[in-house]
Structure 1
Amino acid sequence: MSLTAHIPSHRKPRRSAPKSALRAGVAGGVLSTIAVAGAAGPAQAEPVTQTIEMPTLTSGLSTAVAASAEATQQVALDLETQAQEDAAATSAAKAATKAKAEAVRKAEAKKKAEAAAKAKAEAALRASRSEARTTLSASSGATAVAFSSSSATGSAASVVSFVRAQVGDAYVSGGTGPNSWDCSGLVQAAFRTVGVDLPRVSQAQSTAGTQVSLSNLQPGDILYWGGAGSAYHVGVYVGGGQFVGAQNPSTGVVLRPLSYDPPSGAVRVL
């Protein structure tokens, strides 16, 4: 036995020809397939690139944003304007309320002042009448004889006779006769009988002659009630402490003593 007979050979055993041929055919087919795929592959796998132009939105977007901003600003302006109008309306309402309250206050103050003035005038008139009554009462003893013994003469007698003749006639505001009179209408008509043309109203008649004291009256003197120049009633003194006057609708023309309604003063025309 040789020394090398047990040394294993490092060569691989040769494969059988049919298996080698088969493997070579398969390998060739695979390589052919890869070669064909390689040749056709790039043409099929290459991506198709196409440029698509998108519409430009910048202009439209800017317009929309601007419109939205303008609308927002307009709403803010409208709200501010409304707030200003509401504030002005509130201020005007407050001013109107204040003005109305001030007007009411002034009207009430004026009304109170007028009432106070009227009360003062009435009080003064009552005081004047009371003083006249006192004066007449105090002087009645000294002048009674003079009053009773006085007799009208001349023009004064005609005036006294006329007014006495009208006693019982009706009182009518604005009346000038012949059967109805007011106070100044009767006095004017009486003096017209002696050619004296007196003013028509009592205010003017109370200053038509010379002022005389109530303690020194003569028949035919004009008596007045109220102030000289602002008298509200007149009559004629007929002597004996009496007067004739157209008093009011309920009494008509009457003959009364001075104490019935003491006059404020007297004037002498004749």
Structure 2
Amino acid sequence: MSPNAAIPSHRKPRSSASTRALRAGVTGGILTLAVAGTTVSATAADKPVAETQEMPTFTAALANTLTKSADTVQQVALDYELQAAQDSSAAQASKAAVKAKAEAQRKAEAEKKAEADRKAKEAAKERASRSSERTSLRSASSDAVSSATGGSSSSASTGSNSSLVGFLQAQLGKAYVMGATGPSAYDCSGLVQAAFKQVGISLPRTSQEQSAAGTQVGLDNLQVGDVLYWGGAGSAYHVGVYVGNGHFIGAQNPSTGIVERSLSYSPPTGAVRFL
């Protein structure tokens, strides 16, 4: 027997010099894998082919899954983009609606104001027309009275009557204030005193004094410009001025102010004449 027969072999195990490269990528919807730099041991190389495990191949199924995932992400992004566009459009529409509503309200207010101004102008025009008609009637009445009385003083009396009535009509609508003598407010005797002052006649201040001054006349013989009084002569509590056609003008009370009324509205007690 050889002396070396029992010595075990000192040969190194065989090793495989083969390598595999693993690359991954998705091209045309196909996933390919390659293994690089992997050293297979001699033990594994010595195994039978049946025992060697192959790396699983990820092809169509995995590629399809990844493609679906990419499509899903893209769809979500598109949905967000669409929602953002819809939100922006809704916000713009809301702003436009608010602006349109404000513009409509502004136009409505402008039209309402224009209509109010128009009505006010028409009312003022109508009042002016009525005032002009009353002035004409008073003038005609004064002319008739002057013609009936005759004399050289009739022309002067007619002019005074017209001025007196014109002043009183200009005060219609002003306020009644106790103790006031004009020009924006009067009490009853203050208005009578101011009216006669326009034609150069100075009257006492109070209704009691005015009812006792001048010439007493009957209520069935009134002339334009006569001072009417309510209560006794010398103790009257209210006065006004007769303006013809069965009417008088006076500062009645705080609720009515200066108005024109029919004698039947409040029949006077007596009258005095200064013209």
Give the shorter-chain TM-score range: 0.3 to 0.5
Larger RCO, structure (CA 8 Å, separation 6 or more) = 1
**1 or 2, which has the higher helix percentage?**
1
How high is the TM-score relative to the length of structure 1? 0.45
TM-score (structure 2 length as normaliser): 0.44
Bigger-Rg structure (1/2)? 1
